[in-house]
Amino acid sequence: MITLWKEELAGVTYPEGFVVAAVRCGLKTEGDDLALLVSDSMATVAGVFTTNYVQAACVRYSRRVVRSSGVARAVLINAGNANACNGERGETDNRNLAEWTSRLLDVAPDAVLTASTGVIGHPLPMDRLQKGIPEAVERLERSAEADARAARAIMTTDTFPKYRAVLVDSNHWVAPIRFGGMCKGAGMIAPHMATMLAFLTTDARLPGPLLQEALRRAVEPSFNSVTVDGDTSTNDMCLLLASGMGEAEISREGEAFEDFVEALTRLATALAKEIARDGEGATKLVTITVQGAPTRYAAKTVAKTVAESPLVKTALFGCDPNWGRLLAAAGRSGVHLDPNRIEGFIGPYRVCAQGSSVPFDREGAHAYLKGREVTVTLDLGIGEESATVYTCDFSYDYVRINAEYHT
């Protein structure tokens, strides 16, 4: 059982054994755009990656490293250029990034993972990156300021950096475990694997297969349950590095492992909600829960369909308690349901029952939807399973941002 949960103003270097740096290479119009996360010693690594058949070079490369060795010393992350759809040149450029970094760190090339985000179909400006990597190595440090700067460096259309750190203890661990994380994402968010870009760290000691299982389980209700616009990126990636520099060791499945998964899931969920909150042009974070479903898969399918409905999202932006759009979206989800059993809630307001309207305070519901965080609940009335998806509304700015941002 989790006995301590203490959040800290820090990020990926909060766990023992990690340093990070961020520098400007000129890939973005302003600010830092290259981050380097390094473990003091070889770290166990787990990863989950996009299911999009069109994949960036960094995805193919980092997946191969994670699966073949399961260890790494560093992650090099660039923002402003996705290095996707660049053919053999993109593959070569990605390998060169890993090799240049590995030489400076005096490690093997496959000890360096890579991640990219930004515009698709443009070659990387390798001359700028070749100059920036040594500068990043020189700036490596362990501090809350470095954590914040790295989280900001990996942003594209994000409006704020997303990073967290927490000290966790359990009555099944010999010592507390530190967790850190940072992620980016505001648009092209509908992952079917993991997330946009997310990097999680811990100082616990776990064998590779157990770490991979922990990440797989943590990602499903968190990063895999957030959607902004229904588009799955070519570059989606979530990496978890365990330095093993702390005192806690989890060597097998059991209560200690279950508590580790719970802690990791809570951290990942907090970061995932920040992505939904920062959806392009969003004015509110929306939590959609579907309960009373025959299976968890069915519940999540309905919740995701509702969350990705443009009509639902625009109604939420307009603060319109339009429950008909909720039911219409649920009905086209592909899940076999009985509309005469559905009960719907917008926040505390019961807006429909048995598939029909019920009297409710429309002005109160309208006022509720003006808040920065709102909830929508649908009870299908045909089972016991439930699932939650995090999303946001669609505003005029979503169209403006994506019309003006060259992808």
Give the residue numbers annotated as catalytic, written as ranges.
195
Q: Is 370 annotated as a binding-site member? A: no
Give the per-residue SS3 of the chain: CEEEEEEECCCCCCCCCEEEEEECCCCCCCCCCEEEEEEEEEEEEEEEECCCCCCCHHHHHHHHHHHHCCEEEEEEEEEEECCCCCHHHHHHHHHHHHHHHHHHHCCCHHHEEEEEEEECCCCCCHHHHHHHHHHHHHHCECCHHHHHHHHHHCCCCCCCCEEEEEEEEECCCCCCEEEEEEEECCCCCCCCCCCCEEEEEECCECCHHHHHHHHHHHHCCCHHHECCCCCCCCCCEEEEEECCCCCCECCCCCHHHHHHHHHHHHHHHHHHHHHHHCCCCCCCEEEEEEEEECCHHHHHHHHHHHHHCHHHHHHHHCCCCCHHHHHHHHHCCCCCCCHHHCEEEECCEEEEECCEECCCCHHHHHHHCCCCEEEEEEECCCCCEEEEEEEECCCHHHHHHHHHCCC
Q: Is 402 annotated as a binding-site member? A: yes
Rounded to whole angstroms, the Cα distance separating 175 from 181 reads 20
Rounded to whole angstroms, the Cα distance separating 27 from 116 reads 11
Q: Is 156 annotated as a binding-site member? A: yes
Q: Is 407 annotated as a binding-site member? A: yes
- Count CA within 13 A, CB hemisphere, residue 383: 17
3-state secondary structure of 374: strand
Q: Is 195 annotated as a binding-site member? A: yes
Report which residue type is found at 324.
G
Q: Which two tokens stand for residue 295?
A: 């299976």
Residue 141 forms beta bridges with which residues? 20
Residue whose C-alpha is closest to residue 241's, from 35, 20, 44: 44
Q: Which two tokens stand for residue 151?
A: 């989280």
Q: Is 29 annotated as a binding-site member? A: no
- Tokens 């099944």, residue located: 172
Binding residues: 156, 184, 195, 280, 402, 407
State the binding site for substrate: 156, 184, 195, 280, 402, 407
